[in-house]
Amino acid sequence: MSKLYIVPTPIGNLKDITFRALEVLKAVDFILAEDTRTSGKLLKHFEITTQMHSHHMHNEHKTTQSVVARIKGGQSVALICDAGTPAISDPGFLLTRACVEAGVEVDCLPGATAFVPALVNSGLPNEKFVFEGFLPPKKGRQTRLKLLAQETRTIIFYESPHKLLKTLAQIVEYFGEDRPVSVSREITKLHEQTIRGSAGEVLAHFQAKPPKGEIVLIVGAKK
């Protein structure tokens, strides 16, 4: 059946891919990949020979309608990103929206995403939370953080290693040095690590030991 499949891929450990994801990637007419070089390694590992096309933030505005047309013409398509679930801080939203608007069926498979294990590992309340993704790099960053300092739900951020110290310092400044935080890095990978404590303590830890790898920052709610 022609449709768009949203297929999560492992965020580190290749064993985290599902049987269903492998079946879909083998069965579709073509795969849309954020980076064909990165995804090529994954497909080669699982002996998947389905044709790939690039679909990323720099070309998705131009390619979306042609993909929708191909699906409406009877083809099935799988969308993957470099790691995790497409459209979660990765390309995917524009194509999904276009398919929904065109009456094309969308099927999102369950699977790997970084913030869920980081949230659960944090030990912070998780019955209610807000996902912020990446903070604005410059304009609007301080305004956003000042607003979030009043948030009464646990907050989830994605952050790069070279910006983590800046973000933690701003958490200390706007949220207070005693606000509980948890930093998970390299989830599912060989050097996976979670550091928990007050914002001041975790900042001091990474000032002494500069962070590396993919990072999820969890910040406790205002009490």
Residue 181 has pLDDT above 90, yes or no: yes
Rg (CA), the chain: 19
Confidence grade of residue 219 (pLDDT, cut at 50, 70, 90): very high
Instruction: Name the pTM for this structure.
Output: 0.92
Contacts of 50 (CB under 8 A, 6+ apart): 25, 26, 28, 29, 30, 31, 43, 78
Tally the C-alpha atoms within 13 A of residue 195's C-alpha that lie toward its C-beta: 22
Residue-wise DSSP of 104-139: --EEEPP---SHHHHHHHH-S--SSEEEEEEPPSST
**Domain residue ranges of the chain, discontinuous segments joined by +:** 4-108, 115-219
- b/e sequence 47-85, b meaning 16+ C-beta within 10 Å: ebeeebeebbeeebeebbeebbeebeeeebbbbbbbbbb
When pLDDT is averaged across residues 128-139 and rounded to a whole number, the result is 94
The predicted model gives 120-130 an average pLDDT of 97
- pLDDT of 119 strictly over 90: yes
CATH homologous superfamily of 4-108 equals Tetrapyrrole methylase, N-terminal domain (3.40.1010.10)
115-219 has the same fold as 4-108: no
Q: Please name the fold of domain 115-219.
A: 3.30.950
The average pLDDT across 14-31 equals: 97
- Predicted confidence (pLDDT) at residue 25 exceeds the cutoff of 90: yes
Q: Residue 1: pLDDT above 90?
A: no
Per-residue pLDDT of 31-55, as tens digits, reads 999 999 999 999 999 999 999 999 9
The predicted structure's pLDDT at residue 137: 86
What is the tens place of the pLDDT at every residue in 147-176?
Answer: 999 999 999 999 999 999 999 999 999 999
Give residue 145's pLDDT band: very low, low, confident or very high (50, 70, 90). Answer: very high
Using CA atoms, how far residue 45 sits from 20, 42, 86, 151, 221, in Å, is 16, 5, 20, 43, 42
At 195, the pLDDT band (50, 70, 90 cuts) reads very high
63, 41 in Cβ contact below 8 A? no
Tell me if residue 218 falls in helix, strand or coil: strand
